[in-house]
Chains A and B, each alone.
Chain A
Amino acid sequence: MATIATITAALVLVFFYAPLDSDQGFVQKIFYIHVPLAIVSLCGFVFGGLLAIGHLRTGDRSWDMRSYVAIHMSLIFGIAALVAGLIWAKASWGHWWVWDDPTLVSFLIVLLLFATYQPLRFSIEDPERQARYASAFAIVAAAFVPLNFIAVRLAQGFVHPRVLTLTGGNLPGSMRLTFLVSLAGIALLFAALWKYELAAKNARIQLRRLRRELLGEDAVRPLRRSAAPS
């Protein structure tokens, strides 16, 4: 409910409260969906890595499930951010993609890195080994995210504008408020979908266990090879 309310408030602020950008005009409205999606996606990858640490520390497979779902959600949000960014680039720079821009390329690298997470899981048949290797990968890849971010910030030549900085940036108050509400909405959406997918996957696992306990091993179809934790 909080997610729906925040996203509705964000859309109202984006289209009826935030002023038009003097430089880009109406097309700058993409900023309020593209940047929050990218930020939440990157934070989700780091979150997935932290959850993977929980798995390696405790050996509890539920942490692996949490990490898997976080990375899965982050990939979806990341692809949405990338597509929104492509559209904005076309409208603003006249090109769908600019290879010279470190922000764009680094985000693509992070996305492609995490895109290999699912094939990695799928390639390992033994569930225990799959969970262990996937957690190790998630931790290393998550550590790459802040390193990548710092490297991009240190880069000199970039096409992306720097509107968010530690000293406050150069966003006017109304735009900043709109951006923060959008960011909160997307973050809440991520949290809600993460919990939803986690609950759905856990329900499926519990159902399978219940069926096995009550009806015997023959009543349960053998699991097909899967990237998802079982």
Chain B
Amino acid sequence: MIEVKNLYKSFEGVPALTDISAVFETGIVNMIIGQSGSGKTVLMKSIIGLHRIDKGRIEYDGRNLPDMTMKEIRILRREVGMLFQGSALFDSMTVLENVMYPLEMFSSMSKKEMIQRAHFCLERVNLEKSSFDLYPSEISGGMQKRAAIARAIALRPKYLFCDEPNSGLDPITSLIIDDLIYKITHEFNITTIINSHDMNSVIGIGEKIIFINNGKKAWEGTKDDIFKSDNEELNDFVFASEVFKQLKAMKINNKK
């Protein structure tokens, strides 16, 4: 579980996050949603420690990140997996080498065990064996995302962060990636935090949702609560598209 308490973050005096408190629970998909520029990426990067916060607490199962030294943060990060918006696979390495990298760096496994573990992770994300020896530039965006998930879970992380996992993907591949993240979260009992503004993902796999607006937490609830909420800012954001407006109308009609 990750608990954020009264978090403040500013850039050169301009506040980016103001008094954010939230609990990200273990074994479920936690989502941070909000418009572009609302501060959700800053929040995620602050939670991981890529941004130094001004004030507040970020507790990883009771361990407060801002109190840690750089060495302690690096040790904690070995329990963290992250899926980046652009996959961030190392382009000088093959897909297999990318997944083996964290194992080579931090595990005491033999070469054979590392290969076995990397194969397991790649097969878990449904990547075909023929792609294992290809370089990231030689595979599609969806395959890159899957390889990045495989790399993120290679060290059996306790915490998984996903920054806009569906950006640049077609709707079908997006669904596959969402489904994969959801299954992995439940299968390995991981604390997953997804940063997204893709409403399909939110409605599809979001189990706990935090809505950020202008650097403040504006709403918190489950995906079912979204349809009942009378929070104006949330409704403006979620039901900006006609499809979701109709979905909300259908849900209300069904209840009646």
Bind each other: no
Q: Which residues of B line the A interface, CB within 8 A?
A: none
